[in-house]
Amino acid sequence: MQQGIFDYPRVQIDFSPKIPPLKKLKDKTKVDIRYCLISPFAFVHIYWDSKIYELMYEIEEPILTNEEKKYKEQIIEAMRNMINFYSVVERGVEALLEYIDKRFKILAVEFGLNLSYESYKKIYYYLCRDFIGFNEIEPILKDYFIEDIECNGLNSPLYIVHRLYRNMKTNTIFKKAEELEGFVEKLAQRCGKYISYANPILDGSLPNGSRVNATYTKDVTSKGPTFTIRKFTKMPWTPVQLINFNTLSPEMLAYLWILIQYKMNILITGGTASGKTTLLNAIAFFIPPESRVVSIEDTRELNLPRENWLPSVVRTSTMPGEKNEITLFTLLKSSFRQNPDYVIVGEVRGKEAFVLFQGMASGHASISTMHADSVDTIIKRLETPPINLSPTLVNVLDCICIMTHAIVNKQETRKLKEIVEIINVNPDGIALTNTPFKWNPAEDDFYFKSNSKILEKIALRYGLRMEELDLEFRRRVQLIYALYQKKIFKFEHVQKVIHKYYKRPEEVLREFGIEQ
């Protein structure tokens, strides 16, 4: 039997199975679905638990017998001593799967393990999950529908945020301190960062782009180590998809398209997880194809579907005592020497805001995000420490998009609550504004008025007639709505239409049956 293990065919594992077509059910008590996360081993069962009156997110993985558990731990320990998997994880998944298979078979023979093919398959899955992936949370990370994974500490179930069913409790729990500490260390290593008792807070990005925040000690979080993983889609949501989600209206997008084309300065604000970065990624589709874009972030979240893009990310010290940090402030100062047409800053929160607004004042079109829920709050944040911006410098800002988290028809949703134009900010910090676009929560509808001070500003700056801009605005509204009606959501197709419109607008309008 022991020699026969070499005759076992290698198990085929698919870490990216097909995304299931899930439907959103208004009545959560009727939810009872099951779909594959890692084929053919890991599944999720989402169902209404009548005992706790909540939706449950239950991971189903192969069940090991006591003997199989003992064999698995024996193999894992031996493999850890043989090779540092962090150094070979860049080989590629296929090469690693092959490597694990060979090592597993050799060790099984050396240890004299009596394994049936069924036992071999189950243990092989766990070896691959733990060495290549992220242990217990690997299946959750592979779920396309997950937005956030939250661990509040030891002996506390993980919670997730699902795209359709929102907050749910899982059946995944870390019960041993050393396991949770080891997992947080693994997160730090995969982020290329360092976490320890001396430096117990981690902020970083995983290789797949997911954002990680973690803590390491009970001094910081009383339940022990914690982590939060914010997942991002590999392909950004397109502007048309945001209309499909009823996040905003075609008129809002057409207006923002014109502002971006004519290099106006836009600030996107809102609370945590209100959709600021999603909107930023979506409206970046409207940047002219030949324009040079420089982006600056503290953790990588932007995903711009374009070639002429220079993404930069801050560098924090990887080890205690090192002085090799590169801050947002440093990157932003440097970016203005890189001849950008557009500067995008992931989020402003400190002294870098001063440099950003100086850049706007010197003619660099800028788009950024900030945590704030109203124009007054934004101006107060900009005027007070640590930013300390002069109120009159805020005048270089043209438009503020305010995102919000809302509950509509008992469903959580994200909305572009309003678009506010900054007309003037006086030395006392009092803003004169115009609000051409607004979301009405009572009717869940978007309203707009035709008088836009920023469009008038564009007309004056570029020598255009307002009639021309109004006509262009209406055409773009129709084009965006036509894309939505024809269900053209994929980013390659949307990008192609927008790029073509910049070069041959008449041809695009004819193609979509829009009057010229």
Summarised one tens digit per residue, pLDDT across range 149-167 is 999 999 999 999 998 898 9
Q: What is the mean pLDDT of residues 429-442?
A: 92
432 falls within a domain: yes
As a whole number, mean pLDDT of residues 398-416 equals 89
Query: What is the structure's pLDDT at 403?
Result: 97
Compute the distance between CA of residue 183 and CA of residue 227 in angstroms, rounded to an integer. 9
- Is the pLDDT score of 196 beyond 80? yes
Cα–Cα nearest to 365, from 424, 453, 292, 308: 292
Partners of 203 in the β-ladder = 213
End-to-end CA gap in the chain: 77
More confident site: 198 or 460: 460
Which of 451, 466, 484 finishes a domain?
451
Does the bond joining 20 to the residue before it have cis omega, within 30 degrees of 0? no
Q: Does 193 map to a domain?
A: no
Q: How are strands ordered across the β-sheet holding 226-230?
A: 32-38, 42-49, 54-60, 166-173, 157-162, 146-151, 226-230, 211-215, 201-205
Do 71 and 159 reside in the same domain of the chain?
yes
Same domain assignment for residues 155 and 270: no
| Residue 202 included in any domain | no
Residues 254 and 132 in one domain: no
Tell me, yes or no, whether 284 and 391 share the same domain.
Answer: yes
Give percent of the chain with pLDDT exceeding 90. Answer: 57
Q: How confident is the model at residue 319 (pLDDT cuts 50, 70, 90)?
A: low
| Average pLDDT score over the chain | 89
DSSP state of 349: -
35 shares its domain with 160: yes
Task: Specify whether 122 is located in the same domain as 246.
Answer: no
The whole-number average pLDDT for the span 171-190 is 94
Residue 172: count of CB within 10 angstroms of its CB: 19
Of 451, 468, 488, which residue is a domain's last?
451
Contact 125, 15 (CB under 8 A): no
Cβ of 486: how many Cβ atoms within 10 Å?
11
Q: Do 314 and 434 share a domain, yes or no?
A: yes
Q: In terms of domains, do 334 and 410 share one? A: yes
Full-model pTM: 0.78
**In the predicted model, is pLDDT for residue 299 greater than 90?**
no
In this predicted structure, what is the pLDDT of residue 86? 53
Does 420 score more than 60 pLDDT?
Answer: yes
What is the total count of domains within the chain? 2
Kind and range of the H or E run holding 241:
helix 239-244
pLDDT (tens digit per residue) in 370-397: 999 899 899 888 888 888 888 888 899 9
What CATH number does the domain containing 164 carry? 3.30.450.380
Asked if residue 186 belongs to a domain, the reply is no
Q: What are phi and psi of 40, to 5 degrees?
A: -105, 30
Q: Do residue 315 and residue 399 come from a single domain? A: yes
Is the pLDDT at 329 greater than 90? The verdict is: no
Q: Judge whether 436 lies within some domain.
A: yes
pLDDT of residue 234 exceeding 70:
no
In a domain, 464, yes or no: no
Segment 359-367 shows an average pLDDT of 88
Question: Is 60 exceeded by the pLDDT of residue 321?
Answer: no
Task: Please indicate, yes or no, whether residues 134 and 274 belong to a single structural domain of this protein.
Answer: no
Contact 397, 375 (CB under 8 A): no
CATH number, domain with residue 397: 3.40.50.300
**Does residue 185 lie in a domain region?**
no
Domain end residue (candidates: 451, 467, 489): 451
* Residues 166 and 252 reside in one and the same domain: no
For the stretch 440-499, pLDDT in tens is 998 999 999 888 999 999 999 999 999 999 999 999 999 999 999 999 998 889 999 999
* Residue 485 located in a structural domain: no
Encoded tokens for 343: 């500067």
Give pLDDT, residue 89: 55
pLDDT tens digits, residue range 51-73?
999 999 999 999 999 999 999 99
Q: Same domain for 161 and 280?
A: no
**What is the widest separation between alpha-carbon atoms in the chain?**
85
* Residue span of the structural domain in which 313 resides: 239-451
Region 287-314: mean pLDDT is 84
pLDDT of residue 2: 44
